[in-house]
Amino acid sequence: MSVLPIRRLGDPVLREPCREVEVFDDLLSRVYEDMLETMYHAPGVGLAAPQIGLSLRFFVYDANDGSGPGAVANPVLSEPAGEQIDEEGCLSIPGLWYLTPRAQGVRLTGRDLQGDPISIDAEDLLARIFQHETDHLDGLLFIDRLSEEDRRRAMAEMRERDLGARPGPPRQGSIG
Ligand code: NI
């Protein structure tokens, strides 16, 4: 296993819709191991394939809820319920944190590493992770989900960073 570099905002791979996973083989399992190690090292609770430069509908997660890590290929979200508003960050935009609205609960269907169908009803943090990571596979980032005012503030904050300010350290609870 190895820790891979995480692509940052500005890298075009983060803004492209990813292609479906069609082959469930040892290579995908190796990608899974590397992404998991990269996620834990960051640290984060999720990581999507485009964040390591792979334009593939695949992500890994570990919500630290005791159920261990998981991987999902070709995720589809349905049955959004309720709303949660909490601070969210992204490993591809280090140091930026904003209140981000998400559905409180979602159903995720997709495929596991062997290509078998899976279905998970998620709430709270796990639901937030699933929404954040599935967004990545559509070329969307959490800053796209902010209120107009927060989005302007986020853009201004990022411009200041580009002028030489250093990003803050990653915080506990970083999504991916
Ligand atoms: Ni992210």
> Nearest-CA neighbor of 88 among 5, 156, 166, 154?
154
Answer whether residue 169 shows pLDDT above 70.
no
Answer whether residue 46 shows pLDDT above 90.
yes
Q: What is the CATH number of the domain that holds 96?
A: 3.90.45.10
In a domain, 46, yes or no: yes
In a domain, 4, yes or no: no
CA 43 to chain CA centroid, nearest Å: 12
Residue 133 among the catalytic residues: yes
Answer whether residue 21 shows pLDDT above 60.
yes
Per-residue confidence band for 63, with pLDDT thresholds at 50, 70 and 90: very high
Residues 86-107 have pLDDT tens digits of 999 999 999 899 999 999 999 9
List 20, 88, 123, 133, catalytic entry: 133
In the predicted model, what is the mean pLDDT of residues 124-141? 98
Task: Supply the range of the domain harboring residue 54.
Answer: 12-160
Q: Residue 48 C-alpha to ligand 1 middle, in angstroms?
A: 7
In a domain, 168, yes or no: no
Share of residues in the chain with pLDDT > 90 (%) = 86
In a domain, 71, yes or no: yes
Q: Residue 89 C-alpha to ligand 1 middle, in angstroms?
A: 7
In a domain, 176, yes or no: no
Q: Residue 132 C-alpha to ligand 1 middle, in angstroms?
A: 6
Verdict on whether the full-model pTM lies above 0.95: no
Q: What is the pLDDT of residue 44?
A: 95
Per-residue confidence band for 3, with pLDDT thresholds at 50, 70 and 90: very high
Per-residue confidence band for 170, with pLDDT thresholds at 50, 70 and 90: low
Answer whether residue 165 shows pLDDT above 70.
no
In a domain, 29, yes or no: yes
Q: Residue 41 C-alpha to ligand 1 middle, in angstroms?
A: 15
In a domain, 167, yes or no: no
Q: Residue 176 C-alpha to ligand 1 middle, in angstroms?
A: 4
In a domain, 122, yes or no: yes
Structural domain total, the chain: 1
Q: Residue 143 C-alpha to ligand 1 middle, in angstroms?
A: 10
Q: Residue 127 C-alpha to ligand 1 middle, in angstroms?
A: 14
